[in-house]
Amino acid sequence: MKFRSTPPSEFADVDVVVVPLFDDKRLPAKGLTRATRNVLERIVAESVSAKLYEVTTHFGEKTGRVVAIYAGKRAEYVPERARALASAVVKSLWRSNAKRLAFFVAAESIGAEAAAQSTVEGVTYAMWRPESHKSRPEERRLPKISEVTLLVDGDVKAAVRRGEIVGDAVNLARRLANEPANLMTPTHLAGEARELATKTGLEIEVLDRERCAALGMNSYLSVAQGSHQPPQFIVLRHRGRGGDAIDVAFVGKGITFDSGGISIKPADGMHRMKGDMAGAAAVIAAMGALAKLKAKVNVIGVAPCTENLPGGGATKPGDVFTSMSGRTVEVINTDAEGRLVLVDGITYVQRQGARRVVDVATLTGAIQIALGPYFAGLFGRPAAFVEEVRRVGTAAGDRLWPMPLTDEYREDIRSDIADITNSAGREGGASKGAAFLDAVVDAGADWAHLDIASTSWSEKDRPQSPKGPQGPAVRTLVALAERYAE
């Protein structure tokens, strides 16, 4: 895919011209031929009851293919809508032979750079499809678009480049989460991370079972006991400003398949648990994006990866393990395994010197009940850091909702026979999961926990993405790291 930008009056020789139509019915002032303007004026006059993201296509001898997409109120045009508009347009062209696309960028509300980056991201998102294992090419529905010209005044080359990098990173996270568990084992995921590191210049280290045991990661390793697949603790480093200091650390849950272990899940929907490593995918993809962006910030990203399966050596409900932090953990429910791997990941990055930590995980079904598929849950401390993550993440395009984490939840996870227990009842389950992680966060550290179980997968097509893995949190992690580069 090739992107370029040019003033609206200078484009030519494309297969499709795309124009967003707003409620004010104002068309682009420059760049439209008389014939194309006449067509759009007729579409505007007939679109009295048009719905947001509705696409109208016109074919004409003088105009070629013109695609108009209803964009709602101009005042509501924000980056997320710009992404969704671009994605919806590309989705409408999946079955066409169009290869070259010219897109009028509405820059008035959010500025040319934000509008250009968001449009590039949106196009990139729509170029990914989940049907990667269909045997017939026509069933994979891969679009033929190879060149996109953004029609916008001003120099937006840097924004276009950033949109490509971030868009590709989100698609990488989606691809990793979409792979079936037999093709995305911990070893496969470590291989993907190594390949990314080679391409981008990231430093990588993968700790095996023996190394993890020597470091005292017994909580993480307890989850791996039932699987024949060896655990892989992936460590990626981006040294954008040199030195050993760490500006921010990312920890991603990497359960490449979650059966629930001895506390086995119901069969219905268990196949979706191939995506229980979406947090790890987000961290790996974000680290690659930061390296490509040459962000002047030092970041460490870790992904504790394993399968969670029943077996002769599997953890049993009631077992007790000592985590890397020294905290003892009573495992009441082996299906609450994500927190068991994350606590050792959090402790690891803190031992490396991180004082600012963000973890990402498909942690609880409770967050899905609380927020539905629209927001990820946001927890952490102190409040100022949580608000910063919310603000940066929202601006980047991830919808985050702050959730409570108080001493009552911390009291709930106290164990009768160990320090903490990994399961303490259904009520407030998302906050209790966060409280478990909080138990190993150092005093005075900045920490945020993103529970993306609600947003990692969509059961229906959306304007900005098809059904399947959504790649949440990647944009938040990239933007947050860049925030500390400032």
Check 81, 339, 390, 475 and give the catalytic one. 339
From 283, 427, 439, 441, select the one nearest 364 (Cα to Cα): 427
With 0-12 / 13-18 / 19 or more C-beta atoms within 10 angstroms meaning exposed / middle / buried, residue 272 is middle
Asked about 237 being catalytic, the answer comes back as no
The arithmetic mean of pLDDT across residues 16-30, rounded, is 94
Taking CA atoms, 347 is separated from 48, 211, 284, in Å, by 57, 15, 19
The arithmetic mean of pLDDT across residues 205-214, rounded, is 98
Whether 62 shows a pLDDT value over 70: the answer reads yes
pTM: 0.97
Domain boundaries, the chain: 2-155, 179-485
What gap in Å lies between CA 261 and CA 443, rounded to an integer? Answer: 33
Give the model's confidence band at 47: pLDDT under 50 very low, under 70 low, under 90 confident, else very high.
confident
Tokens of 210: 């023996």
The arithmetic mean of pLDDT across residues 438-444, rounded, is 98
From 160, 166, 175, select the one nearest 290 (Cα to Cα): 166
Instruction: Report the pLDDT value the prediction gives residue 393, as an integer from 0 to 100.
Output: 97
Check 265, 272, 399, 483 and give the catalytic one. 265
Element (H, E) at 175: helix 157-178
Q: What percent of the chain has pLDDT over 70?
A: 99
Among 1.10.3720.10, 3.40.50.150, 3.40.220.10, 3.40.980.10, what is the CATH number of 2-155? 3.40.220.10
* Mean per-residue pLDDT over the chain, rounded: 95
The structural architecture, per CATH, of the domain 179-485 is 3-Layer(aba) Sandwich (3.40)
Instruction: Report the pLDDT value the prediction gives residue 303, as an integer from 0 to 100.
Output: 99
Whether 61 shows a pLDDT value over 90: the answer reads no
Q: Are 483 and 392 in contact (CB under 8 A)?
A: yes
Scan for tokens 């994979």, then name that residue: 140
Asked about 157 being catalytic, the answer comes back as no
Which of 29-43, 92-106, 135-149, 340-354 shows the lowest mean pLDDT across its residues? Answer: 135-149
- Mark residue 308 as left, alpha or beta (left: phi above 0; alpha: psi -120 to 50; beta: remaining): beta
Instruction: Report the pLDDT value the prediction gives residue 486, as an integer from 0 to 100.
Output: 66
Reported as a single tens digit per residue, the pLDDT across 89-100 is: 999 998 889 999
